[in-house]
């Protein structure tokens, strides 16, 4: 399938026609002439599905059920960004017990998605296997442990939303139903029992041998006053950006490239980086003590600008999500009503939450009946796309000494660091946004 070949003197071509172990369909094409990259394209040919178009005329209540379908792997992120935006448009104040439920829901998605990425998509690269199934023959304990952790994330999603893929529990204002006390107690027990396994998993990932590289790129994430960000916070960078989520269009620009059905994005005219490592870089002082201690025991110095440390950042965040879920469940008292009543009226709202693979920004305009008149959705993978290409250019130049096969493997694992979710990157963003 993969082809690396010299076509003419001084020309080297790297062609990965189908990227494997990523969500959705993409390809990488590189052309080198006399030791310089003359063309590099991360091609995304995932067909567009035009979600923002058919959201129009739908009622506010239908939005979480629709946007969940953008991405099979991070439906919670879509539901939470949409709910936050609609709550803002309607001026709804969500009380702490319901905020806690939203955070618990998000913990489920982080645990599930991070466990899946670490074990099924990324680790085979670092240990030299084509997939986790073959890796399980030599690392049965590690793979089964990872799948067990993934299952715990799924179990949280089941008590909150019925099922892990396209869960049905979320509604702007909160949830249709709160978990029963017994469900919460059982979940708490399972998480406590598995926490030592999560710690062992972090140590295992911390000791995987990864390439030592650095990339000069801003880390962009949410940052909250009193917690590691999931549902709430301001958008910040490690270079001084600090804005309200509604100000996103004034600082970030989307643009189309002919080779991709996903739009690219820039911050102040240059690529930027979102995801678990940037989030950790910007929020090292927001980790719970036990997670911070674990982080200190790993051989990586944070903050890190090495994209290969994304796997460890995911492992750390998986641990954090378990610690947080345990904290929330220990304090859980079934609220008498799991949602705030929403009174629809005309308005505009923006919402931004931390999807497992980085910030996911939504904006809705709604009419007096609460029907969507305009929707804009900016997923993390299209935000990372410009940086992925910049990273690949640097990676090619660093790896010229490698064999063709070695170079191909290096680039493919380099793309996996970003955990691109290509399915969600291609439902297209309108180019004319506020402020421009």
Partner 1 sequence: MAMARIAVHKFSSCDGCQLQFLTLEDELLQLADRLEIAYFIEATSETGDGPYGKYDVSFVEGSVSTPDEVERIRKIRENSTLVVAIGACGTAGGIQALRNWGDLDSYKTSFYTMPEHIDALPTSTPFSEHIHVDAELAGCPPDQGQLKYVINSLLAGVQPRIPSESVCLKCKRDGNVCVLVAQEKPCMGPITRTGCGALCPHQERDCYSCFGPAETANIEAMGRRFIGAGLPRDGLVHRLRFIYSWSPPFKAASERWLAGQADYAPLPTSRTVTPP
| Subset of residues 132 to 151 that bind partner 1, contact rule: CB under 8 A | 132-134, 136, 143-144, 147-148, 150-151
The number of beta carbons lying within 10 Å of the beta carbon of residue 250 is 12
Q: CB 211 → partner 1: shortest distance, Å?
A: 18
Scan residues 226-285 and list those touching partner 1 (CB under 8 A). 255-256, 258-259, 261
Alpha-carbon distance of 48 to 429, in angstroms, equals: 11
Q: Which is nearer to partner 1, 49 or 327 (CB)?
A: 49
Tell me if the bond preceding 400 is cis, omega within 30° of 0: no
At 43, which helix (H) or strand (E)?
strand 36-44
Asked if 112 is part of the footprint of partner 1 (rule: CB under 8 A), the reply reads yes
Q: Does 120 bind partner 1 (CB under 8 A)?
A: yes
Least distance to partner 1, CB of residue 158, Å: 9
Examine residue 402 and tell whether it contacts partner 1 (CB under 8 A).
no
104 binds partner 1, rule: CB under 8 A? no
Stretch that binds partner 1, among 21-29, 202-210, 346-354, 395-403 (CB under 8 A): 21-29
The piece of 84-92, 169-177, 281-289, 328-336 that touches partner 1 (CB under 8 A) is 169-177
How many CB atoms within 10 Å of residue 288?
16
Residue 217 interacts with partner 1 (CB under 8 A): yes or no: no
Neighbours of 27 (CB within 10 A): 15
Query: How many residues at the interface with partner 1, by CB under 8 A?
Result: 71
User: Measured from the CB atom, is 31 or 148 closer to partner 1?
Assistant: 148
Nearer to partner 1, 161 or 349 (CB): 161
Determine contact, residues 127/208, Cβ cutoff 8 Å.
Answer: yes
Q: Are 408 and 14 in contact (CB under 8 A)?
A: yes
Nearest in space to 198 (alpha carbons), one of 63, 295, 98, 303: 295
**How far is 261 from 190, CA to CA, in rounded Å?**
42
Residues 53-92 that bind partner 1 (CB under 8 A): 53-54, 58-59, 62, 65-66, 69-73, 75
C-alpha 318/C-alpha 303 separation (Å) is 18
Q: Which of residues 351-390 bind partner 1 (CB under 8 A)?
A: none
Among residues 27, 17, 214, 203, which one has the least CA distance to residue 118?
A: 203
Omega of the bond leading into 303 within 30 degrees of 0 (cis): yes
Distances (CA, A) of 244 to 320, 349, 353: 25, 12, 12
Pick the closer one to partner 1 by CB: 146 or 358.
Answer: 146
Distance CA 396, CA 13 (A): 11
Between residues 175 and 332, which has the closer beta carbon with respect to partner 1? 175
Return the structure tokens found at 306.
């090495």
**Least distance to partner 1 from the beta carbon of 22, Å?**
7
- What are residue 384's phi and psi, to 5 degrees? -85, -10
**Which residues have a Cβ under 8 Å from the Cβ of 348 and sit 6 or more positions away?**
89, 363, 364, 365, 366
Cβ atoms within 10 Å of 207's Cβ, excluding its own? 10
The minimum distance between CB 119 and partner 1, in angstroms, equals 10
In whole angstroms, how close is the CB of 10 to partner 1 at the nearest point? 30
Angle, vertex CA 221, rays to CA 158 and CA 352, nearest 5: 55
Residue selected from 219, 382, 384, 423 as contacting partner 1 according to rule CB under 8 A: 423
Report the alpha-carbon angle 404-21-208, nearest 5. Answer: 75
Residue identified by tokens 């809705």 is 364
**Closer CB to partner 1, residue 33 or residue 367?**
367
Q: Which is nearer to partner 1, 92 or 159 (CB)?
A: 159
Closest CB to partner 1 among residues 134, 394: 134
Q: Does 15 bind partner 1 (CB under 8 A)?
A: no
Q: Taking the complex as a whole, how short is the minimal distance between the CB of residue 18 and partner 1, in angstroms? A: 6
Question: Residue 32 CB, nearest distance to partner 1 (Å)?
Answer: 23
- What is the C-alpha R_g of the chain? 21
Minimum separation from the CB atom of position 9 to partner 1 (A)? 31
Of the pair 158, 393, the CB lying nearest partner 1 is at 158
Which part of the chain contacts partner 1 (CB under 8 A), choosing from 93-101, 131-139, 243-251, 273-281?
A: 131-139
Stretch that binds partner 1, among 51-59, 194-202, 234-242, 347-355 (CB under 8 A): 51-59
CB 279 within 8 A of CB 317: yes
Among 44, 101, 164, 391, binds partner 1 (CB under 8 A): 164
In the block, which residue shows the tokens 């090619």? 396
User: Is residue 1 close enough to count as binding partner 1 by CB under 8 A?
Assistant: yes
């Amino acid at each position: 399938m993969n082809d690396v070949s010299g076509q003419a003197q001084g020309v080297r071509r790297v062609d990965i026609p189908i990227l494997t172990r990523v969500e959705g369909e993409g390809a990488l094409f590189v052309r080198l002439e006399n030791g310089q990259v003359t063309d590099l394209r991360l091609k995304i040919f995932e067909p567009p599905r035009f979600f923002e178009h058919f959201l129009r005329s739908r009622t506010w209540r239908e939005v979480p059920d629709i946007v969940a379908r953008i991405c099979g792997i991070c439906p919670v992120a879509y539901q939470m960004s949409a709910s936050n935006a609609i709550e803002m448009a309607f001026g709804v104040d969500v009380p702490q017990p319901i905020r806690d439920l939203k955070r618990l829901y998000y913990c489920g998605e982080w645990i599930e998605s991070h466990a899946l990425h670490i074990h099924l998509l990324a680790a085979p690269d670092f240990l030299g296997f084509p997939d986790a199934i073959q890796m399980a023959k030599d690392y049965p304990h590690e793979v089964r442990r990872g799948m067990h952790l993934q299952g715990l994330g799924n179990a949280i999603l089941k008590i909150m939303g019925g099922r892990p893929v396209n869960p049905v529990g979320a509604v702007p204002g909160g949830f249709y139903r709160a978990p029963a006390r017994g469900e919460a107690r059982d979940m708490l027990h399972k998480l406590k029992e598995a926490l030592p396994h999560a710690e062992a998993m972090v140590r295992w990932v911390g000791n995987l041998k990864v390439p030592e590289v650095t990339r000069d790129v801003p880390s962009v994430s949410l940052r909250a006053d009193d917690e590691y960000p999931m549902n709430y916070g301001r958008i910040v960078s490690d270079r001084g950006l600090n804005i309200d989520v509604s100000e996103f269009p004034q600082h970030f620009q989307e643009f189309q490239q002919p080779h991709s059905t996903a739009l690219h994005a820039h911050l102040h005219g240059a690529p930027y980086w979102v995801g678990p490592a940037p989030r950790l870089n910007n929020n090292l002082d927001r980790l719970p003590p036990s997670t911070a201690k674990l982080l200190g025991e790993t051989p990586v110095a944070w903050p890190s600008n090495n994209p290969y440390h994304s796997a460890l950042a995911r492992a750390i965040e998986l641990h954090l999500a378990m610690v947080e879920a345990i904290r929330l469940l220990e304090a859980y008292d079934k609220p008498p009503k799991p949602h705030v009543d929403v009174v629809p009226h005309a308005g505009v709202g923006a919402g931004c939450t931390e999807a497992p693979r980085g910030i996911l920004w939504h904006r809705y305009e709604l009419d007096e009946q609460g029907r969507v008149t305009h929707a804009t959705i900016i997923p993390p993978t299209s935000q990372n796309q410009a940086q992925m290409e910049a990273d690949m250019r640097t990676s090619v130049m660093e790896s010229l000494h490698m064999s063709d096969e070695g170079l191909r493997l290096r680039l493919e694992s380099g793309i996996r660091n970003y955990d691109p979710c290509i399915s969600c990157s291609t439902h297209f963003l309108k180019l004319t946004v506020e402020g421009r």
